[in-house]
């Protein structure tokens, strides 16, 4: 029995030392400091940070370490002397800077900041396949960096975030937000009244040097009313045609480069009893996603961008052509598409019942998680065009555990975090400083997407919050939803014209 007690104690020490070593290697990192003689907390801060004002960072880091190893001093009153032989934890400068950014003296969060622990409540809509695995990879890094914090994975299912936003906005307005939440880069942020409810992240961008490692096009997309409101963790491509390698190889087929080639191929596949193009719309956005990719191909990059800025009218023939193509496509899709979400419809390809699907490259995360071998190509008409979106994380002003958020955001923007996340998610890092050796870790599709990101014309996704304000996105989605029923091209185009006029007038007022 005594032997087992000793073993238990030894194992406990191993676990504790593992936690301490992890802490020492991470963002909270730093080093142990045994006080040689009685001193003050401000003097310690002056010694290591050249300013006494950083005493809260020393106190906060030491108290976090105390939660893991009680041999470190628990500092309850910063005004009392620090006795000789007391053991403190000195955080590195980058962590101390982030801590002081949130935990300045007159901050409402200040008292809670000083004692550590608590939770990190992360809101997202990532629940399926590779996206859930990517989120888990970020959590693993965070647990290593801040083992004193409990992560709460507050996911709300529903692709593209339409369900999520309907739930999260009332909570933010009511002063009960998660600590951080998923937000598409671009004009989606306008719907959150960021000046009232979100913390601007300009100082954090400066601390982390992100303006040097995120591409200018993305930084421009991230900036709204002169401020950054989210930290991008990835870049996704909306316009990808996925195809079953098994079916294409069996019949000697090649991916269609034009819509005429597509319809010839679709007729052949239909005769073979195979669904030519697998579609879903249970989330209400998937068909609109398909339409935005058709639209990018018929309008091409410059005109497509102009639709969202008012420079190109929605009466343009390229919009008519896109609607005509979508109408024709509906004769070649699975009849049960209204019952499928973006991920469940992919089972058609996995089971050899469907040949193609047009969806963003998060689908690759699903295929990788399921072990499904697929090929990819640009949807017809979009070769050389990259319809882009980016997932970011925002920082609500009323976050209940604000001291725990900066490390999360720093991980999201870090090279380590972006590599770990994107390999699993099926997206590519937002950072431009990924080395060839690091790029080689990614599967072939993602390597090809990284190449395309550097050479293709970049246009913003509308259905994923980059191109338009939320009201316009909703109208766009609803018009296409109605079109699936009516197939009335003229009525749909008129509705798109009206939606654009209303949205552009609203944007002009702001």
pLDDT tens readout for residues 210-220 = 999 998 989 99
- In angstroms, the CA 168 to CA 350 distance is 34
Asked if residue 9 belongs to a domain, the reply is no
Q: Are residues 125 and 89 in the same domain?
A: no
Q: Among 94, 113, 132, which residue terminates a domain?
A: 113
Asked if residue 478 belongs to a domain, the reply is yes
Place 119 in a pLDDT band, splitting at 50, 70 and 90.
very high
Asked if residue 331 belongs to a domain, the reply is yes
Q: Are residues 201 and 222 in the same domain?
A: yes
Residue whose structure tokens are 């301490």? 20
Asked if residue 1 belongs to a domain, the reply is no
- In angstroms, the CA 389 to CA 235 distance is 6
Asked if residue 8 belongs to a domain, the reply is no
Reading the block at residue 231, the tokens are: 């930290």
**What range defines the domain where residue 66 resides?**
21-113
Cα first-last separation, the chain: 74
Q: Are residues 164 and 181 in the same domain?
A: yes
Of the candidates 187, 194, 192, 182, the residue with the CA atom closest to the CA atom of residue 231: 182
Name the 3-class secondary structure at 33: strand
- In angstroms, the CA 150 to CA 50 distance is 32
Global pTM?
Answer: 0.86
Q: Are residues 175 and 322 in the same domain?
A: no
Cα of 131 vs its chain's centroid, Å: 9
Within 13 A of 253's CA, how many CA atoms are on the CB side?
Answer: 25
The mean predicted confidence, pLDDT, of the chain is 92
Q: Are residues 250 and 176 in the same domain?
A: no
Please give the average per-residue pLDDT across 424-436, as a whole number: 93
At residue 112, does pLDDT exceed 90?
no
Cβ-contact 28, 61 below 8 angstroms: yes
Q: Are residues 385 and 422 in the same domain?
A: no
Asked if residue 7 belongs to a domain, the reply is no
Of the candidates 52, 113, 46, 90, the residue with the CA atom closest to the CA atom of residue 407: 113
- In angstroms, the CA 73 to CA 88 distance is 6
- In angstroms, the CA 264 to CA 276 distance is 10
Q: Are residues 49 and 106 in the same domain?
A: yes
pLDDT at 508: 87
- State whether the Cα torsion 105-29-132-213 is positive or negative: positive
Which stretch, 99-108, 161-170, 256-265, has highest mean pLDDT? Answer: 256-265
Reading the block at residue 177, the tokens are: 């937000």
Asked if residue 16 belongs to a domain, the reply is no
Q: Are residues 361 and 492 in the same domain?
A: yes
Please give the average per-residue pLDDT across 124-145, as a whole number: 92
At residue 243, does pLDDT exceed 60?
yes
In the chain, how many domains are there?
3
Q: Are residues 304 and 341 in the same domain?
A: yes
Q: Are residues 454 and 411 in the same domain?
A: no
pLDDT at 167: 95
At residue 18, does pLDDT exceed 60?
no
What CATH number does residue 204 fall under? 3.40.190.10
Reading the block at residue 339, the tokens are: 């019952």
Per-residue pLDDT tens digits for 317-374: 999 999 999 999 999 999 999 999 999 999 999 999 999 999 999 999 899 889 999 9
Please give the average per-residue pLDDT across 296-303, as a whole number: 97
At residue 6, does pLDDT exceed 80?
no
Asked if residue 373 belongs to a domain, the reply is yes
Q: Are residues 68 and 171 in the same domain?
A: no
Reading the block at residue 423, the tokens are: 């390999």
Reading the block at residue 27, the tokens are: 């963002």
Q: Are residues 107 and 124 in the same domain?
A: no
CA-based angle 476:478:479, to the nearest 5? 65
Please give the average per-residue pLDDT across 434-453, as a whole number: 94
Reading the block at residue 257, the tokens are: 């480069």
């Amino acid at each position: 029995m005594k032997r087992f007690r000793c073993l238990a104690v030894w194992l406990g020490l191993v676990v504790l030392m593992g936690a301490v070593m992890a802490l020492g290697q991470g963002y909270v990192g730093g080093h142990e400091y045994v006080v040689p003689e009685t001193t003050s907390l401000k003097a310690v801060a002056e010694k290591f940070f050249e300013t006494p004002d950083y005493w809260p960072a020393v106190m906060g880091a030491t108290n976090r370490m105390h939660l893991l190893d009680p041999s470190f001093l628990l500092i309850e009153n910063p005004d009392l002397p620090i006795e000789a032989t007391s053991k403190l934890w000195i955080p590195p400068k980058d962590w101390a800077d982030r801590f002081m950014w949130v935990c300045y003296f007159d901050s409402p969060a200040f008292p809670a900041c000083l004692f550590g622990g608590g939770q990190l409540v992360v809101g997202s809509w990532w629940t399926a396949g590779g996206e859930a695995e990517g989120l888990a990879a970020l959590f693993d890094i965070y647990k290593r960096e801040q083992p004193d914090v409990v992560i709460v994975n507050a996911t709300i299912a529903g692709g593209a975030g339409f369900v999520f936003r309907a739930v999260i906005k009332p909570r933010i307005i009511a002063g009960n937000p998660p600590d951080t939440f998923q937000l598409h880069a671009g004009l989606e942020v306008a719907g959150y009244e960021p000046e009232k409810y979100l913390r601007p992240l300009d100082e954090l961008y400066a601390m982390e040097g992100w303006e040097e490692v995120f591409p200018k096009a993305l930084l421009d997309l991230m900036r709204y009313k002169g401020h950054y409101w989210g930290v991008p963790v990835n870049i996704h491509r909306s316009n990808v045609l996925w195809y079953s390698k098994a079916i294409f190889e069996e019949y000697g087929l090649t991916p269609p480069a034009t819509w005429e080639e597509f319809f010839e191929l679709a007729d052949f596949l239909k005769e073979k009893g195979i669904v030519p193009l697998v579609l879903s719309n249970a989330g209400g956005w998937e068909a609109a996603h398909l339409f935005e990719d058709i639209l990018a191909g018929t309008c091409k990059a410059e005109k497509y961008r102009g639709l969202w800025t008012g420079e190109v009218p929605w009466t343009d023939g390229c919009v008519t052509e896109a609607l005509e193509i979508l109408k024709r496509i509906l004769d070649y899709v699975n009849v049960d598409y209204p019952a499928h979400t973006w991920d469940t419809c992919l089972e058609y390809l996995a089971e050899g019942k469907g040949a193609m699907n047009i969806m963003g490259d998060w689908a690759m995360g699903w295929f990788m998680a399921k072990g499904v071998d697929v090929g990819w190509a640009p949807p017809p008409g979009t070769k050389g065009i990259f319809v882009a979106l980016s997932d970011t994380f925002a920082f609500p002003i009323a976050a209940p555990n604000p001291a725990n958020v900066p490390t999360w955001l720093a991980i999201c923007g870090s090279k380590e975090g972006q590599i770990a996340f994107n390999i699993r998610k099926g997206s590519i890092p937002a950072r431009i400083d990924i080395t060839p050796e690091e790029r080689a870790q990614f599967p072939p599709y993602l390597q090809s997407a990284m190449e395309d990101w550097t050479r293709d014309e970049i246009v913003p996704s509308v259905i994923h919050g980059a191109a338009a304000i939320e009201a316009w996105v909703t109208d766009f989605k609803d018009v296409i939803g109605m079109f699936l029923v009516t197939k009335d091209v003229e009525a749909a185009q008129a509705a798109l014209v009206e939606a654009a006029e209303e949205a552009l007038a609203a944007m002009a007022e702001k």
